[in-house]
Amino acid sequence: MPPRKKTEPADMKQILWQAADKLRGSLDAAAYKHFVLGLVFLKYVSAAMSEKRAQLEAELREEGGWSEEDILVTLEERREYTGAGIFYVPQTARWEAVLERAGTTVEGQTVGEAIDAAMLAIEAQNPALKKTLPKIYASGRVDEERLVGLIRLLDRLAFQEQLGDDGRRKGARDIMGEVYEYFLAEFALKEGRKGGEYFTPESVVQLLVEVLEPQPGERVYDPACGSGGMFVQAEKFIESHGGNPLNVAVYGQELNQTTWQLAHMNLAIHGVEANLGDEPADTFRNDQHPALKADVVMANPPFNISDWGGEMLGMDRRWVYGAPPVGNANYAWLQHMISKLAPSGRAGVVLANGSMSSKQSGEGDIRRGMVEDDLVMCMIALPGQLFRSTQIPACLWFLAEGKGRHSEWVRGRKGEVLFIDAREFGVMKNRTLKELTQEEIVGRIGDVVRAWRGAEGAGAYEDVPGFCASVGLGTVAEHDFVLTPGRYVGTTEVEVDPEAEPVEAKIARLSALLREQFAESERLAKIVDEQLGRV
């Protein structure tokens, strides 16, 4: 058999998506994504184990002294894989076994039953995946023919080690991580508003991570973690800055059962070990991490939700600055995250713009208390069209416990808030969606925040009219504790051309020209009247 042609994931992602979408049939994207992403996960864990198995076999043969029987036994030793952070997949549950079953027409176990059995077998061998993999393939919701077609499509992805654009070698985990992220994004796009429940735009997550700068050894928490995108970007940030991404403790919580499963699979593919609680649960009424104090908290909770159960939490200990209104959870999210901050901890939160100025049902008093306690570090106004799930304008809140006092992360900024107006940022990704550029995320906003908080080597901070301003709490109080950046950054300074005509001279010249034109108009009107009188 000729060797399989090497397939670049960048070339295959769109082809696979378009083909898989055609197979979808009558199922909507919300249901179909679990069929696709579950198979993507099965493909990954099999490929990752195969990659490790080949490496292990080469080492054993090079070492010498091993019989063929001993080599085969060692290659099936579960600890050889789990000890390297790789999931062990039993022989009958591997992608090759499922692919073989999809290519036969013998009676017995259906393809859907074979896939469900494979998912159960993988969970049994890997306790970290318990109750997280989909067992939906024998449900009849997708017929056997479509399942077989989907399996054959996904098999077209090859996982040979290859060089990335940055010159670094990418193995099965890196390649499948790219594919999985692509599929998540495409399904979110298909689902529209509903897709936003589990997927935050990548550029927004990158901005949160760029400002918060999670470090090795820190505890990272997301109380509304969706599919786990915040954690993936945090790990990427740490790795790109020379740290060990495995040396981070990750904690999350998610209410939706299927999204909780998606998060487990997404994080497993990216090699992120996370504690997402024992079960999907409501963050406000069933906190899965009650004793947690995190160094970094970041979240994109649902905007302005009214049915969050606030009527049952009126005296909750988290409401240090006042009970949030029953009809809006924005300040419940903020205060929950504050309660999770370790000494010198920091948080970044995506919220609707209304959270910066609302005074309804005590929200203004809660915001005032947070500002007066010097918890608010930075406010960023975002451009529109970043979110596929909502047209509500959004902003970023950044909080820092101990700012200007005992915090080493923010130095010398006691009693100040940094305001950034990024509403004019971003480029159009397609007809309806915008995204922030890397230069805007890192080179403009990231660098300004680092300079403002006194990061080593960041240079001196300066206000930029129309873009950023460092404002004392007294000035914020004068604005009745409204935190909208546009109130504080002013307008962009217009660059003056030294050779340009002085304003006074220009007015005089234009006034004289206007009088001349009026006179000429009167002259022409008289000529017209004379000509008409002769008719």
Max Cα-Cα span within the chain: 123
**Of the ranges 16-25, 386-395, 461-470, which one carries the lowest mean pLDDT score?**
16-25
Residues 6 or more apart from 471 whose CB is under 8 A from it? 416, 417, 418, 419, 488
Contact assessment for residue 419 and residue 468, using Cβ atoms and an 8 Å cutoff: yes
Q: What long-range pairs does 181-185 form, CB within 8 A, spacing at least 24?
A: 181/229, 181/232, 181/266, 182/13, 182/17, 183/13, 183/17, 183/33, 183/36, 183/37, 183/40, 184/37, 184/227, 184/229, 184/262, 184/266
Helix (H) or strand (E) holding 37: helix 29-63
User: What's the whole-number average pLDDT of the chain?
Assistant: 85
Average pLDDT for residues 484-488, to the nearest whole number? 95
For residue 6, what pLDDT band results from cuts at 50, 70 and 90?
A: very low
- In angstroms, the CA 489 to CA 270 distance is 40
Q: What one-character-per-residue DSSP string does 452-498 give?
A: HTT-TT------BTTTEEEEEHHHHHHTTT---THHHH--PPPPPPT
- In angstroms, the CA 199 to CA 21 distance is 19
What are the backbone angles phi and psi of residue 349, rounded to the nearest 5°? Answer: -135, 135
pLDDT at 62: 86
Helix (H) or strand (E) holding 395: strand 394-400
Contact assessment for residue 296 and residue 218, using Cβ atoms and an 8 Å cutoff: yes
pLDDT at 3: 46
The secondary structure of 93-124, three-state, reads HCHHHHHHHHCCCCCCCCHHHHHHHHHHHHHH
Angle at 150 (CA atoms; ends 145, 152), nearest 5 degrees: 95
- In angstroms, the CA 458 to CA 461 distance is 8
Structure tokens at 299: 């979240």
For residue 7, what pLDDT band results from cuts at 50, 70 and 90?
A: very low
**Of the ranges 185-194, 207-216, 309-318, which one carries the lowest mean pLDDT score?**
185-194
**Of the ranges 13-22, 67-76, 284-293, 491-500, which one carries the lowest mean pLDDT score?**
491-500
The amino acid present at 323, given as its one-letter code, is A
Would the pLDDT of 113 be above 50?
Answer: yes
Structure tokens at 276: 């997402």
Would the pLDDT of 5 be above 60?
Answer: no
Contact assessment for residue 98 and residue 111, using Cβ atoms and an 8 Å cutoff: yes
Contact assessment for residue 274 and residue 294, using Cβ atoms and an 8 Å cutoff: no
- In angstroms, the CA 64 to CA 126 distance is 31
- In angstroms, the CA 234 to CA 273 distance is 12
Helices marked H in 142-213: 144-154, 172-191, 202-212
For residue 318, what pLDDT band results from cuts at 50, 70 and 90?
A: very high
Contact assessment for residue 267 and residue 236, using Cβ atoms and an 8 Å cutoff: no
> Is the model more confident about 412 or about 363?
363
- In angstroms, the CA 474 to CA 494 distance is 28
For residue 33, what pLDDT band results from cuts at 50, 70 and 90?
A: confident
What are the backbone angles phi and psi of residue 207, rounded to the nearest 5°? Answer: -65, -45
Strands 169-170 and 162-163 come out as antiparallel
Strands 274-275 and 169-170 come out as unpaired
pLDDT at 357: 95
pLDDT (tens digit, 9 = 90+) per residue, 142-187? 888 888 888 888 887 765 554 445 545 555 566 666 777 777 777 7
- In angstroms, the CA 175 to CA 393 distance is 34
Contact assessment for residue 54 and residue 61, using Cβ atoms and an 8 Å cutoff: no
Average pLDDT for residues 244-265, to the nearest whole number? 87
> Is the model more confident about 511 or about 465?
465
Contact assessment for residue 87 and residue 122, using Cβ atoms and an 8 Å cutoff: yes
What's the half-sphere exposure (Cβ side, CA atoms, 13 Å) at 111?
Answer: 24
> Is the model more confident about 239 or about 18?
239
Dihedral angle, C-alpha 456, 458, 460, 464, nearest 10 °: -150
> In the block, which residue shows the tokens 């220009």?
506
pLDDT at 1: 41
The CB density around residue 390, as the number of other CB atoms within 10 Å, is 15
